[in-house]
Amino acid sequence: MTDDVLICGAARTPFGRSERSGRDHAVAAATAALADAGIPWSRVGAAFGGSDAAGLADTLVADLGLTGLPFVNVKNGCATGGSALVSAVNAIRGGMADVVLAVGFDKHPRGAFDPRPEDWGLDDAYGRDGLMVTTQFFGMKIQRYAHDFGITPRTLALVAEKAYRNGSLTPEAWRRKEISADEILESGMVNDPLTRFMFCSPGEGAAALVLCSPSVPTRDPVTLRSAVVRTRRRGSFEVFSPVLEAGEPTSVSRDAAAAAFEAAGLEPSDVDVAQLQDTESGAEVMHLAECGFCEDGEQEKLIASRATEIDGSLPVNTDGGCIANGEPIGASGLRQVYEVVQQLRGRAGARQVPGEPSVGFTHVYGAPGVSACTVLSR
């Protein structure tokens, strides 16, 4: 048994919309990650992966190769990729295999996500009242947070402006055109205070990682210091939450981030580059505090000072995040890890963080209150 796990291969496909199937994206990402690692598919001892709407990951063996390995399907909302990664880590630490693949992929139809109340343990009335529309939740949550901690609409626009600017530097991003904060503010209100260009869009794409134990010869590995998944505790206000209890709210993102840092033996102040879930601009703002990078309300000054820019003191979502890349649910968490791996390797091209970053962090959040976080280092 070993506690050390290395990421020895990482790849993603372009996100957006295409004629490819979700499985096509997944096979392409897995094949590219194996090539990046310099490891053949026949050497992989186990695999974990999944999607929300594009099929079963274990069927990928029909294209990758019928080697008989255990391939476990994972479906855990926006934390699907993160859950696949945790499973892969545990497979190595438990001695199941010394080379493991984690893959996430999806292909969503045009338009907003269309969840059904019964799939989330909710009464039909919840849907009839319009509360299954996720933009309603995001608007309500950031509106309350902005009231309590003084977050302005301009700050929300600056977050999105950064996302599109970073997306313009990312060849695989969906949204590659810069958009100004003024244009974002004037793009039409969706759910107050969030405008049209502050949101990400459902899309398609895949990301894959090859993990190995230190005994496996590797080309350019990155150490995965920790990978954790947490679900909500009582008192949290989450997507599809039918009640908001009185008192100080809990946060699944706070729990997951704290657990990830504790397991890694590091602090938020050690992080050189971060990926935070930005389903919309308000999410990135709130997650800055929930993941321990600032106090509630400090985001106004932090973002205005350009600290979260690529050349800032805490670069966040250097590839444009969900806002620029879109969100294929199964792939998002692994896309984040792919980006941090590229940054730590010094391979991020025009969006490379200066100063040879050595510690990275990723965070994903999704319904109905699930968060996955990782800490990586060189």
Helix axes 329-345, 80-93, angle to 10 degrees: 60
Which helix (H) or strand (E) covers residue 299, if one does? Answer: helix 299-304
Residues above pLDDT 70, as percent of the chain: 99
| Percent of all residues in the chain with a pLDDT value above 90, rounded to a whole number | 84
Full-model pTM: 0.95
CA dist 300 and 166 (Å) reads 20
Question: If you average pLDDT over residues 212-241, what whole number do you get?
Answer: 91
pLDDT for 310-337, tens place per residue? 999 999 999 999 999 999 999 999 999 9
* Phi, psi angles (nearest 5°) of residue 129: -80, 0
Residue 324 and residue 292 in contact, taking contact as beta carbons nearer than 8 Å:
no
What is the pLDDT confidence band of residue 2, given thresholds at 50, 70 and 90? low
pLDDT per residue over 21-41, tens digit each? 999 999 999 999 999 999 999
DSSP 13: -
Nearest to 143 by CA among 132, 131, 152, 155: 152
Phi, psi torsion values for 236, nearest 5 degrees:
-90, 150
Q: Give the mean pLDDT of 133-155.
A: 93
- At 242 the pLDDT is 67
Q: How confident is the model at residue 348 (pLDDT cuts 50, 70, 90)?
A: very high
Work out the mean pLDDT of the chain and round it to a whole number.
Answer: 94
Res 267 pLDDT > 70: yes
Half-sphere CA count of 182, side-chain side, radius 13 A:
0
pLDDT of residue 1: 40
**What does the pLDDT average to over 265-281?**
97
3-state secondary structure of 372: strand
d(CA 195, CA 186): 8
The one-letter code for the residue type at 237 is F
HSE toward the beta carbon, residue 277, CA cutoff 13 A = 34
Residue 127's pLDDT band, with cuts at 50, 70 and 90, is: confident
Of the candidates 31, 7, 5, the one whose C-alpha atom is nearest the C-alpha of residue 91 is: 5
* Alpha-carbon gap, residue 256 to 279, rounded angstroms: 18
Lowest mean pLDDT among 41-55, 117-131, 247-261, 281-295: 117-131
Residue 244 confidence (pLDDT) above 80: no
Q: What are the domain boundaries of the chain?
A: 5-109+204-377
| DSSP secondary structure, 69-122, as one string | --EEE--BTBTHHHHHHHHHHHHHHTTS-SEEEEEEEEEPPSSS----GGGGT-
Q: Which fold has domain 5-109+204-377?
A: Peroxisomal Thiolase; Chain A, domain 1 (3.40.47)
Residue 130 binned pLDDT confidence (cut-offs 50, 70, 90):
confident
CA atoms within 13 A on the CB side of 103: 36
What is the rounded CA–CA span in Å between residue 234 and residue 25? 38
Question: Can you give the pLDDT at residue 43?
Answer: 98
SS3 226: strand
Do 10 and 341 contact (CB within 8 A), yes or no?
yes
Contact by Cβ (8 Å): 286, 142: yes
pLDDT tens, position by position, 86-98: 999 999 999 999 9
